[in-house]
Amino acid sequence: MSGKKPGDLHEKGVEVPYEQLDPETLHRMIEEFVTRDGNDWGDVGGTLENKIAQVLRQLGNRKARIVFDLKSETANIVTCR
């Protein structure tokens, strides 16, 4: 047995209110997210700015959120359930 509790297997994260990020930082974070390999955007013909605006709307509508992973010290945009 490793001595770890089942809850220890999940990465710990902290939600970061997008409104508290510098606008340029937020824009670059969203741009990196929408251009990342493996993202399925459905409408392949959409422009980069349209995709960025879509994610920004999702953040505003609480359909997505920014989470800072304490273990890897990275931030990611995730959809809300």
> Does 4 score more than 70 pLDDT?
no
Closest CA to 41 of 54, 28, 29: 54
**pLDDT tens digit sequence for 23-71:** 999 999 999 999 987 666 555 668 889 999 999 999 999 999 999 999 9
- Secondary-structure class of domain 13-35+44-79 per CATH: mainly alpha
The pTM score is: 0.75
Closest CA to 19 of 59, 68, 74: 59
Q: How far apart are CA 1 and CA 19, in angstroms?
A: 43
Q: 3-class SS at 60?
A: helix
